[in-house]
């Protein structure tokens, strides 16, 4: 994806207004609807200011917002096209990070920051039309029809899903959904989807039936036992371990992704302790299920 051409109407917006409008657009994409409370509650602004923000957005993107009088909320217009979001994963994560919660992002106020260099993996990009259809179906309990390119088949095929949650695994986005073809809950990578269509007239499978999503698994992560004592102590301190281990709770459905992120998948452990400095102390909890 190439960078979009500069847009003076957007570039001239004040920083705080631009952040609020990004949240507005992101909420439209993810939920399929929004009210002014999305801005008043998140940013602590008045209802009058939120209404002005909506008016600014409507001027920037005519037709993107349509008011649903019966439901008393705004929803995307028929020809909705994102104006402030480009589809980069980091951009969406930044917007989600601004939502209310215990750990809010820190806004740097200093004129000159410290000398810090950040190394990140290759940027994953999202098809915002796919994201919009998928997330709206998940938020509203509808079924979804997509053309899906599995790595187990040479060609894409249509498949009907009941989605319930979008997940960023640390490397890519996937959708947790009930597959009506396989009759079980599975994970489906967003980048492999095309021609997504929400089916509002067909109710989805209940989210509560996804046992692996609601079951919590506790991982016991420890220092590789073959390292010398002094090296073990350094690694334990680095990971905040207590008595030689660190316990991490994770949904069973997300377990394979966390193991991969931490590079402690039992079947992929490196024999050299200087490379495999930490390991899973209870490997019996690791299993693979529902990958596609």
Give per-10-residue mean pLDDT for the chain (292 aa). 56 87 86 86 89 93 92 88 83 66 45 64 83 87 94 93 92 93 95 92 89 96 96 96 94 95 93 96 76 45
pLDDT of residue 7: 64
CA separation for the pair 75, 155 (Å, rounded)? 34
Q: Edge-to-edge, what's the strand order for the sheet holding 278-280? A: 245-251, 216-223, 278-280
14-21 long-range contacts (CB < 8 A, ≥24 apart) are: 16/43, 17/53, 17/56, 18/84, 19/43, 19/98, 20/45, 20/53, 21/53, 21/56, 21/57, 21/60, 21/84
Mapped onto helix, strand or coil, the DSSP state of residue 216 is: strand
CA separation for the pair 36, 177 (Å, rounded)? 30
pLDDT of residue 64: 92
**249 token code pair:** 């709770």
pLDDT of residue 237: 96
With a CB cutoff of 8 Å and minimum separation 6, the contacts of 267 are: none
In sequence order, the β-bridge partners of residue 65 are: 76
Largest Cα separation within the chain, whole Å, is: 69
- Enter the pTM of the model: 0.76
CA separation for the pair 197, 88 (Å, rounded)? 22
CA separation for the pair 45, 42 (Å, rounded)? 8
Query: Given the structure tokens 């319930």, which residue do they identify?
Result: 164
**113 token code pair:** 């920051």
- Burial class, 94, CB count within 10 angstroms (exposed 0-12 / middle 13-18 / buried 19+): middle
Cα distances (Å, whole numbers) of residue 121 to 48, 87, 90, 240, 273: 41, 16, 11, 25, 25
Q: Is 170 left (phi over 0), alpha (psi -120 to 50) or beta?
A: left
CA separation for the pair 154, 133 (Å, rounded)? 25
Helices 128-140 and 15-31 sit at what angle, rounded to 10 degrees? 60
* Nearest partner of 202 among 175, 163, 167, judged by Cα: 163
* Nearest partner of 143 among 178, 183, 193, 188, judged by Cα: 178
């Amino acid at each position: 994806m190439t960078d979009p051409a500069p847009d003076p109407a957007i570039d001239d917006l004040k920083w705080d207004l631009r952040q609020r409008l990004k949240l507005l657009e992101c909420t439209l994409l993810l939920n399929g609807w929004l009210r002014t409370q999305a801005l008043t509650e998140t940013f602590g602004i008045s209802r009058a200011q939120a209404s002005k923000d909506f008016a600014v957005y409507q001027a920037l993107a005519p037709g993107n917002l349509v008011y649903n009088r019966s439901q008393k909320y705004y929803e995307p217009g028929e020809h909705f096209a994102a104006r402030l979001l480009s589809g980069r994963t980091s951009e969406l994560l930044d917007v989600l990070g601004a939502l209310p919660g215990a750990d809010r992002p820190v806004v740097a106020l200093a004129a000159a920051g410290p000398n810090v260099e950040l190394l990140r993996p290759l940027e994953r990009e999202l098809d915002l039309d796919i994201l919009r259809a998928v997330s709206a179906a998940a938020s509203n309990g509808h079924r979804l029809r997509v053309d899906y390119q599995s790595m187990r088949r040479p060609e894409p095929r249509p498949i009907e899903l009941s989605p319930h949650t979008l997940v960023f695994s640390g490397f890519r986005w996937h959708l947790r959904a009930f597959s009506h073809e396989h009759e079980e809950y599975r994970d489906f990578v967003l980048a492999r989807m095309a021609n997504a269509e929400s089916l509002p007239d067909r109710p989805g499978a209940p989210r509560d039936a996804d046992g692996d999503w609601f079951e919590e698994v506790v991982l016991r992560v420890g220092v590789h036992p073959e390292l010398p004592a002094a090296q073990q102590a350094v690694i334990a301190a680095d990971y905040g371990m207590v008595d030689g281990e660190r316990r991490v709770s994770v949904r069973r459905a997300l377990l394979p992704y966390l193991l991969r992120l931490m590079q402690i998948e039992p079947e992929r452990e490196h024999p050299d302790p200087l490379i495999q400095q930490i390991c899973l102390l209870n490997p019996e909890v690791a299993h693979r299920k529902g990958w596609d």
